[in-house]
Every structure is written in C-alpha cells, then in structure tokens.
Amino acid sequence: MSFRERVKTLLRMCGHAFVSTVHERLNHTDRQLDVLVDQNNRMAQSQTALLQASIHIIETSRKADAEFRDAVERLEKEVLRVRGETKDFLEREAVRQVEVEACAYEFANPEVGLLSYLYSFLPAPAALDIGANAGEVSERLLEAGYRVYGFEPCPATYEKLVRRLGDRPGFQAFPFALGADDGEMTLHVPRDASPDGRYGDPTAYASLWKHPMPDDLPFETELPAAVRRLDGLHREGVLPDDVAIVKIDTEGFDLEVIRGMGQRRYAVVTAEFWDRAIPFAGGGAAYTLEELAAAMKERGYRWHIVLYRVWGRPHLAFYANHRRAVPKSWGNAVFFREWDLFREAHQWCAAALPRTFFRPAPP
C-alpha cells in the first residue's frame, strides 16, 4: 500500500469532512507539483538551447580564429616575398646607378651625358651645338649617334673645331653666331691673366654680350661676328627639320638664341644660366634662370631640369621644375615639351647626381 493510500485510509477513519479537506489539499499540492515540473522542464530545454548556442559560437570562433591565423601566415609570407623582390630590385638599381658610364669630361659636364642618354628616346637624330668651341660636346653627341651641326663665331676656335671634327661623318660646322636677329655684332674675346692659367682656352669665354668678368679674365679683343636666326636657317634649308636637341652655350647670350627660334620647336633645349652673385654676372646678369624658364614656358616647354654648380665650391647637383637658382650657382637648364622624355631625363639625373630639395623660406 502506498503512502497516499495509507493516508486516505487513516482519514476515513477520522471522519468524512476531514477526509474531504485533506483530499482537496492533496489535489492542490499535486497541481502545484505538476506546474513546478513543467516549469523545470521548460527551463531545462531553454538552458539546453543556450548551451548548444554557446557551443556553436565557441566552435565558430575557433574556426574563424584558425582561418584568421592562416590568413595572417599567408600575409606574412607575401610580405617576406615582396620584401625579397624589393631588395633584389634595389640591389639591381644600385648596381645600375654605380655603372653609369662617363668619361672625365662627362663626369664634370653631366649635361653632355644626359643628352647622349636621351638619344635612345628621340625619333629625330639631329642636334645643334650652339657655341661649339673646340668641339668637346659635338664629339660626344656624334658618338651617341646624332648628326651634329656646330656653330662657333670665333675664327681661331672655329679652325680648331674643323681640324678636330671636320672629317667626321654626320658633322657640319658654321663660322657664325646665332641670335634674335640676322646681322653683325661684336664678339668680345678675353685674355687669361691668371698666374696659374686656370681658365685654359680663354676663347671658351668669348661672348657677344660684354658682361662683367673676373679680374684675371678681362675682355681684351673685339672681333666682328655674323649672326643668324635659327628659324631662318631652317626656312633656307641650311638646317634640317628633324633637329631634336639644341644645346646653347654662348656665355650670356642664350636667351637671344632662343628668341631666334621663332615658332620652331625642338624636343630638348639646354641653356646656360648664371646667378647674379657669380663674377661673370657681377650683379647684372642679363638672363637668369627665372627669365630662361619663363621664356621657355611661353614656348610650350612645361618641364625643366637644372644641373648646377656653386661658385667656389666642389658642388654638382640637380633639381627639377624650380625657377629659382641656388645662390652663387651656375649651370644649365634642360627644357622639355613632352612628359615622357622629361621623366626619362629625370631618372637618369637621379641615378647620376645628388638631388637638391627646396624648403620654404622662414617668415
């Protein structure tokens, strides 16, 4: 007999009314127990679902963590690979930069090395050497592959030029100067009065402009010189139409040569500039870098590279597209109409020369 049956038997013995009361309370207790069991079951199901969800989240997190670690490892391997390739590239570039070829003259005059290098990127093979002197630049341009037309108005120097290169295929010399107008001008030829002969051949400093000179290099001789315009020589057929390079070095007369170009345009034009603080300018330079750059920009030359020295210092460097000259500097500005050609020239200069950066002047 169960506990409940024993209780009911006992209650029957105690009286019907009492039995009814106890029976109702037992039924109420049964209902409460059923409610509690049902709540407990629902709670257990809910906790089971939460537990399963937690397990799923943990497993997903572990999988994502593993995938993340794999991705990090792949990225690290890729970084190492790229670093290796970059190192190899830089080492090759360093070797290439070290192996930039230059003779002693081109080492001291990198403009010539640059023009020789650009031959590979120019469709037109002709070059003008205006202010050719004894032919140092013309000879190297010939060796690079250009046909060269040299202009030298000083009679004694012209004879040296012809003796040196007159028989070379692809070379032609002219015994006159170039300028803004056809006519005749006076060529001023200096004398080297330095005790150690530091200036070498003084005719290299001859000029159609009687500009200031160092005390030990005074102008001494005056000679008549015929002057022609570039555009006129092209119209007459004296010069061909396929000229790509124009190198100008006329000791202070370069802008007049540029003015004589008229509407004629060339791929590359180089011109010499002097800062006003050097002895040849004496505070009154006729054509500064700013003036040259402005004149060339008007003619469509949007980019330029400046290769410069500093007077009295062993300094040789370059910068690009800046119109101001470094104080006490002199050198050559190389002007370009096409971006691709400028880019090639800039890369060559970056490999061969130190670069100069400008910072804003203090207020």
At 160 the pLDDT is 95
Number of domains in the chain: 2
Range of the domain at 234: 105-352
362 occurs within a structural domain: no
Are 60 and 157 in a shared domain?
A: no
DSSP letters spanning 58-93: HHHHHHHHHHHHHHHHHHHHHHHHHHHHHHHHHHHH
At 292 the pLDDT is 94
Q: Which of 166-175, 206-215, 319-328 has the lowest mean pLDDT?
A: 206-215
Minimal CA–CA distance to 266: which of 344, 341, 325?
341
360 occurs within a structural domain: no
Q: Which of 95, 127, 144 is the last residue of a domain?
A: 95
Are 148 and 126 in a shared domain?
A: yes
Are 304 and 330 in a shared domain?
A: yes
Are 139 and 212 in a shared domain?
A: yes
Q: Which of 42-56, 128-142, 146-160, 315-329 has the lowest mean pLDDT?
A: 42-56
Contact 234, 303 (CB under 8 A): no
223 occurs within a structural domain: yes
Are 175 and 306 in a shared domain?
A: yes
Is residue 245 pLDDT above 90, yes or no? Answer: yes
Q: Which of 48, 73, 95 is the last residue of a domain?
A: 95
Are 67 and 145 in a shared domain?
A: no
Cβ partners under 8 Å of residue 282, min gap 6: 211, 212, 213, 276
Are 240 and 264 in a shared domain?
A: yes
Is residue 96 pLDDT above 50, yes or no? Answer: no
Are 341 and 243 in a shared domain?
A: yes
281 occurs within a structural domain: yes
361 occurs within a structural domain: no
Are 201 and 275 in a shared domain?
A: yes
Is residue 102 pLDDT above 70, yes or no? Answer: no
Q: Which of 73, 95, 117 is the last residue of a domain?
A: 95
23 vs 1: CA distance, rounded Å: 17
At 50 the pLDDT is 67
- Please report, for the domain that includes residue 164, its CATH number: 3.40.50.150
358 occurs within a structural domain: no
Are 157 and 247 in a shared domain?
A: yes
Higher pLDDT, 98 or 45: 45
Are 296 and 324 in a shared domain?
A: yes
Residue 200 zone, left/alpha/beta (φ > 0; ψ -120 to 50; rest)? left
Are 299 and 192 in a shared domain?
A: yes
Confidence grade of residue 117 (pLDDT, cut at 50, 70, 90): very high
Once rounded to an integer, what is the mean pLDDT over residues 335-355?
95
At 29 the pLDDT is 63
* Structure tokens that stand for 54 in this block: 């937690």
